[in-house]
Amino acid sequence: MALKIVKGSIDRMFDKNLQDLVRGIRNHKEDEAKYISTCIDEIKQELKQDNIAVKANAVCKLTYLQMLGYDVSWAAFNIVEVMSSSKFTYKRIGYLAASQCFHEGTDVIMLTTNQIRKDLSSPNQYDTGVALTGLSCFVTPDLARDLANDIMTLMSHTKPYIRKKAVLIMYKVFLKYPESLRPAFPRLKEKLEDPDPGVQSAAVNVICELARRNPKNYLSLAPLFFKLMTSSTNNWVLIKIIKLFGALTPLEPRLGKKLIEPLTNLIHSTSAMSLLYECVNTVIAVLISLSSGMPNHSASIQLCVQKLRILIEDSDQNLKYLGLLAMSKILKTHPKSVQSHKDLILQCLDDKDESIRLRALDLLYGMVSKKNLMEIVKKLMLHVDKAEGTTYRDELLTKIIDICSQSNYQYITNFEWYISILVELTRLEGTRHGHLIASQMLDVAIRVKAIRAFAVAQMATLLDNAHLLTGNTQRNGICEVLYAAAWICGEFAEHLEDPMLTLEAMLRPKVATLPGHIQAVYVQNAAKLFATVLQKHEGETDSQAAQETSQLLIDRLPLFVQSANLEVQERASCILQLVKYIQKLQQKNVEVAEEVTALFAGELNPVAPKAQKKVPIPEGLDLDAWINEPPSESESEDEKPKAVFAKEEPKHSRSRHTEVDEKELARRREARKQEQANNPFYIKASPSSQKVYDAPGVEHIPVVQIDLSVPLKVPGMPMSDQYVKLEEERRQKEKADKKKKEKKKKREKRGKGRKGDSGPESEEDITPAHHVDIVTEEMPENALPSDDDDKDPNDPHKALDIDLDKPLADSEKLPVRTHRPEVLKSPAEDRDDNTIPQETKKKSSKDKKEKKKDKEKDRKRSKEDKKKKKKHKDVEEELPESLPEEVVQSEETKEVAVPPTSADVVTVSSSAAAATVDSSSAAAAESEPEELKDTEPDDTKSSKHKKKKQKKEKEEKEKKKKKRHHHHHHHHSDAGAEDSVQNGTVEDEEPLPPMSNYSLLAENSYIKMVCDIQGNHQDESKVVVSVIFENKSDSFLKSMEFNVLDSLNSKLQRPDGAGPHDGLTVPFQLPPGVSNEARFVFSVQSIVMPQKLKGTLTFIVKTDESSTHEKLDFKLHFTCTSYLITTPCYSDAYAKLLESGDLKGSSLRLEGVNMPFHHLLARICFHHHFSVVERIDSCASMYSRSIQGHHVCLLVKSSDQTVSIDAKCDEPSLLGNVLDEIKQTFSKC
Amino acid sequence: MIKAILIFNNHGKPRLSKFYEHYTEDTEQQIIRETFHLVSKRDENVCNFLEGGLLIGGSDNKLIYRHYATLYFVFCVDSSESELGILDLIQVFVETLDKCFENVCELDLIFHMDKVHNILAEMVMGGMVLETNMSEIITQAEAQSKMEKSEICAFLSLCRPLSFSVPDRTGRRRPGLLELQHAPYRPSRT
């Protein structure tokens, strides 16, 4: 009946699989969103079905929808369900969906830990593979911590397929759980020499990723990599290694010397371009690191450049691109060798491919010299004209400015040329870089005194013409230039030929359409011009003209007083009042010019952005001391100066502030010296005032930092585009102007030695004779503290970097114990010993540091070192053994419990069971004897392992437990029934059991069987028994036949046609030491009672000489628990279920349960297939469902070692049995 | 590290997206759109590298792509990957798809996104190159398909198989991806 319903629903639901969905979407192009939303509704229905196949199908469709941008996180729970299907098909669908949409914030991820662990240890390599792949995408710190050990075990798996995945995923684990790096590293290193090339490649991959972030920690691996490089033939591996060397050489020049030869050989021999390219790259890195002499140094450079030229000349654009990229690296240290290929690079500027042009531009930046600057810029200007698309043109523009302004205008010999270039650039339509041009204009005009006259003339023209052209565009980036122009004209007005004309130009009504900050500068500088004009007129005693000027301002300024921009308004009204006042004075024939000029008196000097920081704190000044004792509410007071700082630092146009300062200072300097130190407005004055302390004579010298690679910025300006271009006419006129002025200047002003500069061609000016020395100009001002480490504060390291740093720093300095609880001293030391000897050879300097830091530890270590030498093997055995303990330590604090024992066993198995073992349980079993050997001596004669002493205190407890544990084992093995740790001990001994449900089924000297019984998700009457067979003998086991005596209630599913008593053939044979898993399906009628089935395994033991029939009897125990299926349940559904009243209650009390609550829950979840619905403090509700749909609800409360469980279920006898089983589980603790 | 692998067609429709770092669905779509924008306006005969995958993690990153018939295969990688190596990897990927789907074309990718994911998972894991040997990739992928098939036949003969029904291939006459591919460019093969 129920089956029918399921079938019916399958028919209905399977109407739409992924293909149908895709097809549907394609057929609904018009109303795709609507169609998809109905599909999502269907999917929601499907997800409510019990049938896992339906769910998997739904999840598969969701994965597709996720790609289309639909959020499917709501189905996370269902994805987990599908992931936990026992069928590979569905499992894979589940993991794929999880890998696409799970992330650290997904809360259901924490439910997956055990499932993933189970999959990782699955005997089916593809289950493991799929789990690893999925995990690599959504691993969280918690998962990483909980699973690190399992994954580490997999690194020694027999199958290379698993090994390589496990190795690769370790990188992700390291990132999320940095503490695992050190424990796992020895094994990772081991994998560098794995026989399987895939595994090797994976290990190289991981180490390269790690080393890239922290190269110095991996220097010790250099010899190993060197060996690999000379022996490997796998280009992928070679490329990685060679790239890694590129990162290592800067740290170890000696390595570089060794590398040159093999790399050169590779360059000559390889036919693979990718390898060749990486070799060249690394050789370049080596040469850079060796910057000083090496015999065949230049030969290698020559070789590289040659090869790169071949790449660049190749018709393949990719090679061309990479060639240019590598070339730019050489450029930094060996510019000469690159410069000889200038032709080739200029040629690339014409390439149709933008990426290549950009690369070529980068190169040009480094190739510039005084000689060729103008030529190169001229070429670039041509490209600017030709360029299509603003992006590339803007890129050109910034490059031109970068090239010219680099290292303090080092290569510019003629600043008039540069100014005209800048002016020419203003003609660019729609550029975003108006502010860049503006800041260059300001910078040059301020720094290069000799150029001011020329600059002012150019700017005046610009202002004059700009006015004609601004009208129709509101947003134009280029108008930023006017900001600079206005300021330059105002500030250096004494150089203006006709200040009145410029003044008029600046007060035109059209100016009001400019952005506010520019208007503000206009207004302020109009005032400056006004002062200049006044002075001029008064000098000529032309009071009429002077008054006309005042009138002009009074007429025009009201326009700005009405401005919406506050600053414009404020400045305008202030100046308006001033002018009105002046006008009054003028009418009384008072001479005012001098006083007005005094408003703007004072020399301006550039101030480096970091100047303030550079000011030394004078002796005796404590900046943290209160100047006035703080009032009770000091904050408000405190806040104010801070706000001022904040406002100030983002650099307003410096000029304005400085100017005001100058003036005020002139009046009140003496009185205010103390305050100045704290007032940030005194950018310029404060250094000088402080300077007074040591050199009273140089009061006025401001601080200037010469580092100008960062050009003066004018920030906070809104960006706009589109500026009406200057017409052709204007261009000619401008040129003519320029010519005239240049000639004039040449004639009038100092001859200045511009020998070859023929005025008419200022742009094409090639002769570098014009010498404007900015350095000497600013040097004296730089007298104050020099720069030290400006770049440090702004290095944005990725979170990833930091993560990795931690453990590695540890490995260097050995303060390991901090993140590992005290208990773990010895393991840590162990490892250090292992890694350090190599390092000491390599970098003794570092070791010295270490030694200083932990002398004590060193002593211990040296003792141990001796021991080490004696018994090398011991170390290796201890090592893996000790690692897991750490993992356990950290796990102890967390929800999922893995006891030291299991961990021990699992890792030891890496060496012991490297042989074959497929599943960890089998591994565990195998390594058992070894563990006994290993630990027993510890108990009896602990002196053997000195380290044990050190951690004795902490370990005492543990040891006791261990002892018990071992006895237990001993006992068992005596009895010939050596328990697998997972089962035997799991449930009865250790406080933190390994979470495995595999229990021993039977065992004899040939074979061991462990099994796990699980309900079948798809079928309400089926139970799947997974049995792991392990061959313990030295012989070959074959023809295994598994048979069970059926009961009325439970029957083994046999193939059609087989008799009810026929055995099932196990579908594999077992070579010695190998284990494998087989699954058997049983049909069950009633599930309310536990039951036992007797069975027999028959098999043939085949040795070289003979073969014998053997058999092994066993008893299969179907607990009620095994009929339960972990089924997640939402709390609202859970509440409804309880309210429904269909459930009958029962309860259970457990006394003396001595374990953390979350361990308790974890146990119930794991061993009894429950899931936690909700947990509040020490109270949790849990849910599970039987394969026949019985709901089982638990309410678990814990207080003082007493646990009470209230349970409800619609089948009382099932509930009773489940509770009994739970009780049994905990009674064994 | 590989940060993301995107496949979309000439119109920017995503055919596969694999991000090795977490982004919200919206961001993912935005990245796909922007990447398409960057890539699609490039000529056929320009280089296959693009800088400034601004959305994915900054200046260290590059977009490396190839255009096959109707599809773009884009890998976003950081500087630890060899550019030419990745180009090679894309080629391996496409050839693998070609083998697995027998003359692969866009339709195969459209209808079998899951299968493409599974094949990709055998090549790249968590952003790192796992396997570059085509025959190994195909062996593993096919072994898993086989397993899937056997499971489905054994347990679910009731239902239509999940992902192995061959979609109607009426549109199948389109040229396969590799048919239109410019001369294979595989510098790292020896």
Per residue in A110-119, pLDDT (tens digit) is 889 999 999 9
Residue whose tokens read 């600057």: A373
CA distance B104 to chain A (A): 16
Asked if B25 lies within 8 A of A57 by C-beta distance, the reply is: no
Chain B CB contacts of A164 under 8 Å are 130-131
Chain A CB contacts of B37 under 8 Å are none
The residue with greater pLDDT, B67 or A751, is B67
Q: Chain B interface, mutation test: which of A46, A59, A137, most B Cβ atoms within 10 Å?
A: A137
Q: What is the pLDDT of residue A741?
A: 53
In this structure, is the dihedral angle defined by the CA atoms of residues B168, B170, B171 and B172, taken in order, positive or negative? positive
Q: What is the pLDDT of residue A995?
A: 63
Is B187 touching A (CB cutoff 8 A)?
Answer: yes
Q: What is the pLDDT of residue A1105?
A: 77
Q: What is the pLDDT of residue A629?
A: 79
CA distance B188 to chain A (A): 5
The pLDDT confidence band at residue B4, using thresholds 50, 70 and 90, is very high
Is B46 touching A (CB cutoff 8 A)?
Answer: yes
Q: What is the pLDDT of residue A575?
A: 92
Find the residue in A nearest to B3 (Cα). A137
Give the ipTM: 0.89
Is B171 touching A (CB cutoff 8 A)?
Answer: no
Q: What is the pLDDT of residue B103?
A: 85
Asked if B148 lies within 8 A of A88 by C-beta distance, the reply is: yes
Strand order in the sheet with B62-68: B14-19, B2-9, B71-77, B62-68, B49-51
Asked if A236 lies within 8 A of B162 by C-beta distance, the reply is: no
- Give pTM, 2 decimals: 0.54
Q: What is the pLDDT of residue A775?
A: 41
Residues of chain A with pLDDT under 70: 1-15, 291-297, 429-430, 466-476, 605-609, 632-996, 1017-1018, 1229
Distances in whole angstroms, Cα of residue A915 to Cα of each of A592, A911, A1074, A1198, B87: 103, 8, 8, 45, 39
Tens-place pLDDT, residues A472-496 = 454 567 778 888 999 999 888 888 8
The pLDDT confidence band at residue B57, using thresholds 50, 70 and 90, is low
How far apart are alpha carbons A5 and B23 in whole angstroms?
40
CA distance A83 to chain B (A): 15
How far apart are alpha carbons A124 and A1043 in whole angstroms?
23
Is B14 touching A (CB cutoff 8 A)?
Answer: yes
Asked if A235 lies within 8 A of B188 by C-beta distance, the reply is: yes
Q: Chain B interface, mutation test: which of A138, A235, A238, A357, most B Cβ atoms within 10 Å?
A: A235
Asked if A356 lies within 8 A of B148 by C-beta distance, the reply is: no
Over range B135-159, report the average pLDDT.
78
Which residues sit opposite A541 in a β-bridge?
A: none
Q: What is the pLDDT of residue A1067?
A: 78
Query: Of A616, A634, A614, whose CA–CA distance to A626 is shortest?
Result: A634
Chain A CB contacts of B17 under 8 Å are 67
pLDDT value at B90 more than 60: yes
Tens-place pLDDT, residues A161-180 = 999 999 999 999 999 988 88
For residue A1128, give both structure tokens.
């997640």
SS3 A1112: strand
Find the residue in B nearest to A271 (Cα). B190
Residue A427, number of CB atoms within 10 A of its CB: 17
Contact criterion met (CB below 8 Å) for B69 and B162: no
How far apart are alpha carbons B186 and A236 in whole angstroms?
12
Chain A CB contacts of B127 under 8 Å are 136
CA distance B95 to chain A (A): 18
Q: What count of CB pairs under 8 Å joins A to B?
A: 189
Is B145 touching A (CB cutoff 8 A)?
Answer: no
Query: Of B55, B50, B59, B3, whose CA–CA distance to A796 is shortest?
Result: B59
Q: What is the pLDDT of residue A673?
A: 52
Distances in whole angstroms, Cα of residue A837 to Cα of each of A855, A862, A865: 16, 11, 10
**Partner residue facing A22 (CB), from B18, B29, B110:** B110
Asked if B162 lies within 8 A of A168 by C-beta distance, the reply is: no
Q: What is the pLDDT of residue A888?
A: 40
**Partner residue facing B47 (CB), from A88, A239, A318:** A318
In this structure, is the dihedral angle defined by the CA atoms of residues B34, B40, B43 and B48, taken in order, positive or negative? positive
Q: What is the pLDDT of residue A1123?
A: 84
In single-letter form, the type of residue at position B32 comes to I
Query: Residue A1102 is inside which H or E element, if any?
Result: strand A1091-1102
Q: What is the pLDDT of residue A1018?
A: 66
Residue A292, number of CB atoms within 10 A of its CB: 7
**Partner residue facing A212 (CB), from B80, B85, B144:** B80
Asked if B129 lies within 8 A of A17 by C-beta distance, the reply is: no
Q: What is the pLDDT of residue A99?
A: 93
Q: What is the pLDDT of residue A812?
A: 33
Tens-place pLDDT, residues A503-524 = 888 888 888 888 888 889 999 9
Is B160 touching A (CB cutoff 8 A)?
Answer: yes
Q: What is the pLDDT of residue A740?
A: 56
CA distance A360 to chain B (A): 14
CA distance A212 to chain B (A): 8
Chain A CB contacts of B113 under 8 Å are 18, 63-64, 67
Q: What is the pLDDT of residue B130?
A: 92
Over range B165-178, report the average pLDDT.
46
Chain A CB contacts of B128 under 8 Å are 168, 171, 202, 205-206, 209
pLDDT value at B137 more than 90: yes
The pLDDT confidence band at residue B116, using thresholds 50, 70 and 90, is very high
Over range B60-64, report the average pLDDT.
87
Chain B CB contacts of A202 under 8 Å are 128, 130
